[in-house]
A and B are shown apart, each in its own frame.
Chain A
């Protein structure tokens, strides 16, 4: 079964393919900046990603594995990153 979620909602162990990358900041300057930074870190459409660690407080930030690279991200900054979940290891 495929399920589509925001990366900000993903739990540890969940992963899949990035379907779309967008920044959802209110300020247009911040929005453009965040989108480009996400892209520069290799968070691009089609890349495979999984959540491998969650922070100690409020499960935030998260560490994701993107094509073999580990990146720490804050959940609310990846609200606009849409993930197509894959695999049976999708926890809970």
Chain B
């Protein structure tokens, strides 16, 4: 930051409309990145004050206290205290929900001790007025020792006044040395008494308090109806993820296919063409194709979040997830993982405690992501007869359902083992504010959706590109000798690895062709379908599933088919996920823990399934 630019940091409780204020101030001129060394998002925007002064606005993670507990809150504390050299604020803006002042007043008292010039933005002031809440602005300002400006961030009201006040305190006040220290229980009690005094002196309770939230909650949090509604919402969400996204996915596949074809037409045949078409375009495509599903999923999550429902879902699910040693908040990441584990692992950031977060990340890839569907569909088509049980249950659908259930149950069992065996008694209280319900603001939902999509593409792209090149090289080099009769992949490094590993996989019923297909299949699960097509020399296997299924049903025994399904429930056959796990945990160790435990489970499951099936005469 140059010295002439004023750095303004927004601090406030969660749900205070802080991000709405940030969006109102910066519009689309915001940059989202990560703080170095941690996976906390840094949101910054360059703006100009009404008089033209350049300013940088920072949206710091919401907190109730500077006594940081989660990585997010550590960032808030460190920036506020000037401990992060990249972001040293000149002015702090305490963002307060005008209808809910008690806790933010205590935070404001803590902020005052930091010594920086500060302004309070009384946000959602329109709602406060509608409720007939009377706030003596001048008295409040005197009591907390900072100017108070009223704002309605969603309608961009009061924003210029806020910036003028920021410049005002910057001109009139100099930063004092910080006297902040971590408050003990006694000091927190005392600060609350002080905040209570300020509140009763300057704020008159609302004449028409919000009764809508209570009414909605009596339905949405009802012990029976609430759970049914949650299940219903999940059902709709799943339907939407799979049906709404289908046209987009088809379009992306077609466009990439056309692009690959066009490039193949322009470039001369050879290694470079193969690298671009088979390596880069199809590799990036295998991730890009999930973008429509991820957008639909995030649209739901953002809407529910902004509406205020997500905290309620965590409340309803806490006990159920808690039985498996998971935190109620793990619900959202695990839900996302049904589309793709990458956004699931990334959204585990909502969990404060490191252990709860790691547990969630570790089990997220066990949820049946949509990349498994092509594999499941292929094997089911090849081995499970089209039969109807009891007159109404499709056997094929039942197997698919069983595979989903196997994923969920194993995720719960694994997290149970992690929390009850390895991290016994690790402490993470469940304490969450349930915000008042609000209509989501379409503009901010759209902005957030765009940011999520970009982050997904950047992360996945940065990780998957180099890895796709590696996988491509393994399946391409060395080329087949002149006059070779088998598929080219047989002669490549992947083929050699496959044959070398074959003895290891023989006990679980895999033949060498399958093992060879698993090597490029490390890139992404659905790549295994194309790879099987390659080794069995079925051209264009992905669009000719029927042909490939026919070949497999002849080549494999039923036991082998079932073992392959069991393998895919567990195996971490997705380098992009592993890369994201490495980034999000900031450690190779946890990535390797995941690789080892998931392969071990996959082998074990496939072994048990194969041996049982053989014992029952299906070998």
Contacts and interface: CB of A to CB of B under 8 A. Distances in A.
Contact of A71 (B67, B183, B434): B434
A54 B227 CA distance: 12
B315 interface: yes
Name the residue among A30, A42, A71 with the largest chain B CB count within 10 angstroms: A42
Interface string A26-44: 0100101111111111101
Contacts of B183: 36
A40 B106 contact: yes
B94 to A, nearest CB: 16
A55 B434 contact: no
A37 to B, nearest CB: 6
Interface residues of A, number: 37
B223 A54 contact: yes
Contacts of A55: 223, 315-316, 318-319
Interface in B213-235: 213-214, 217-218, 221, 223-224, 226-227
Nearest to A25: B427
Interface stretch (B184-192, B264-272, B298-306, B593-601): B184-192
A6 B432 CA distance: 20
A46 to B, nearest CB: 8
B430 interface: yes
Contacts of B100: 68-69
Nearest to A65: B214
B433 A69 contact: yes
B315 A63 contact: yes
Nearest to A71: B433
Contact of B430 (A39, A58, A77): A77
Contact of B184 (A36, A37, A68): A36
Contacts of B430: 61, 72-74, 77
A53 interface: yes
Contacts of B221: 53, 63
Contacts of B67: 36, 40
Contacts of B331: none
Contacts of A52: 214, 217
Nearest to B213: A70
Contacts of B52: none
A61 B185 contact: no
A42 B103 contact: yes
Contacts of B316: 55-56
A41 B431 contact: yes
Interface in B390-443: 425, 427, 429-434
Contacts of A39: 185, 188-189, 192
Given A42-B192, A54-B223, A73-B431, A36 B320 contact: no
A72 B103 CA distance: 15
A4 B65 CA distance: 30
B318 A77 contact: no
B261 interface: no
A45 B434 contact: no
A52 B204 CA distance: 24
Contacts of A71: 431-434
B319 A56 contact: yes
Nearest to B436: A70
A65 B320 CA distance: 23
Interface in B92-118: 100, 102-103, 106
Interface string A3-41: 000000000000000000000010100101111111111
Contact of B102 (A25, A33, A42, A61): A42
A27 B214 CA distance: 37
A53 B314 CA distance: 14
Nearest to A57: B319
Contacts of B223: 54-56, 59
A86 interface: no
B608 interface: no
Contact of B188 (A36, A56, A69): A36
B249 interface: no
Contacts of A70: 213, 217, 433-434
B185 A36 contact: yes
A34 B429 contact: yes
B252 interface: no
Give the residue among A33, A39, A57, A71 with the most B Cβ atoms within 10 A.
A39
A52 B434 CA distance: 12
Given A39-B188, A57-B319, A74 B429 contact: yes
Contacts of B103: 40-42, 69
A44 B189 CA distance: 7
A37 B431 contact: yes
B496 interface: no
Contacts of B290: none
Interface in B315-366: 315-316, 318-320, 328
A78 B429 CA distance: 10
B189 A56 contact: no
A74 B434 CA distance: 14
Contact of B432 (A33, A67, A68, A72): A72
Given A36-B67, A41-B431, A73-B430, A56 B224 contact: yes
B427 A27 contact: yes
Contacts of B431: 37-38, 41, 71-73, 77
Contacts of B227: 56
A73 to B, nearest CB: 6
Contacts of A59: 223
A65 B65 CA distance: 20
Contacts of B106: 40
B209 A68 contact: yes
B311 interface: yes
A45 B193 CA distance: 9
Given A41-B103, A56-B227, A74-B429, 19 more contacts: A27-B425, A30-B427, A32-B185, A37-B431, A38-B431, A40-B67, A40-B188, A53-B221, A57-B319, A61-B328, A63-B315, A68-B205, A69-B103, A71-B433, A72-B431, A72-B432, A72-B434, A74-B430, A77-B430
9 contacts: A36-B65, A36-B188, A42-B192, A44-B188, A53-B217, A55-B318, A69-B100, A69-B103, A74-B429
Closest 6 CB pairs of A and B: A70-B434, A56-B223, A57-B319, A39-B188, A30-B427, A53-B221
